A and B are shown apart, each in its own frame.
Chain A
Amino acid sequence: MRRRGSYGSGPRRTAARAGFFRGASGAAALVLSLALSSSCSVEITADRYALVYGAQDYDNLPPATTNDLSATAYDAQDMAAALSAAGWTVQQVRQPTVDKAQIQADIAALVGVVDSDSSVLVYFSGHGTDYLGTTYILPTDAISDSGAAQIANFIAPLDVLSWLNTLPCRNRVVILDTCYSGGFVAADDTGTVDAASQNYGVYDDGTGASTLFEALGSYSDLLAAAFDSYDPYTPMVVTAAGAKELSYESSDNGVFTKYFLESASKGDLDGNGGVTLQEAYRYARGKVDAYWNSTYYAYYESSTGTYADFLPRISGNARDIVIF
Chain B
Amino acid sequence: MLDLRAVPLLVLSGDGLAPVLAHGGFEAGAGAELRIGRWIPGRLQLGYFHVFPSAVSPAGDLYRSFAGWELGLAAGARAVEGRDGLPFGLDMLAGFSLGADRYPGTTVAFASFSADFTVRADLSDPAGGWRITLPLSYVFRPGARSFAAGLGAEWVIPRRMGAAKGGPR
- B126 at the A/B interface (Cβ < 8 Å)? no
Q: Does B112 contact A (CB under 8 A)?
A: yes
B34 within 8 A of A: no
| CB of B137 within 8 Å of the partner chain | no
Contact indicator B16/A232 (Cβ below 8 Å): yes
Residue of B nearest to A317 (CB): B143
Interface size on B, residues (CB 8 A): 48
Q: Nearest CB to that of B19 among chain A residues?
A: A117
List residues of B (33-73) whose CB comes within 8 Å of A's CBs: 50, 52-56, 58-65, 68-69
Contact A318 B15, CB 8 Å, known A36-B23, A190-B142, A226-B141: yes
Pick from A171, A212, A228: contact of B142, CB under 8 Å? A228
Docked Cα-Cα span, A274 to B15, in Å, equals: 22
Interface membership of A80, Cβ < 8 A: no
Once A35-B24, A44-B58, A233-B17 are accepted as A-B contacts, the answer to whether A223 and B113 lie under 8 Å apart by CB is yes
- Do residues B62 and A319 form an inter-chain contact, with CB atoms below 8 A? yes
Is A214 in contact with chain B by the CB < 8 A criterion? yes
Set B17, B23, B69, B140: member contacting A170, Cβ < 8 A: B17
Let me know if B26 is at the binding interface, CB within 8 A: yes
A36 B64 Cβ-Cβ under 8 A: no
| A145 within 8 Å of B (CB atoms) | no
CB <8 Å contact, A272 and B100:
no
Binds B, one of A69-77, A126-134, A158-166, A191-199: A191-199
Q: Out of A37, A190, A282, A311, which one reaches B23, CB within 8 Å?
A: A37
B residues adjacent to A (C-beta < 8 A): 8-10, 13, 15-18, 22-26, 50, 52-56, 58-65, 68-69, 98, 100-103, 105-113, 140-144
17 more CB-based (< 8 A) A-B contacts, given A232-B143, A285-B105, A319-B61? A30-B26, A33-B52, A36-B22, A44-B58, A171-B59, A194-B107, A195-B108, A212-B102, A214-B109, A215-B68, A226-B140, A226-B141, A229-B143, A232-B17, A281-B106, A316-B142, A321-B61
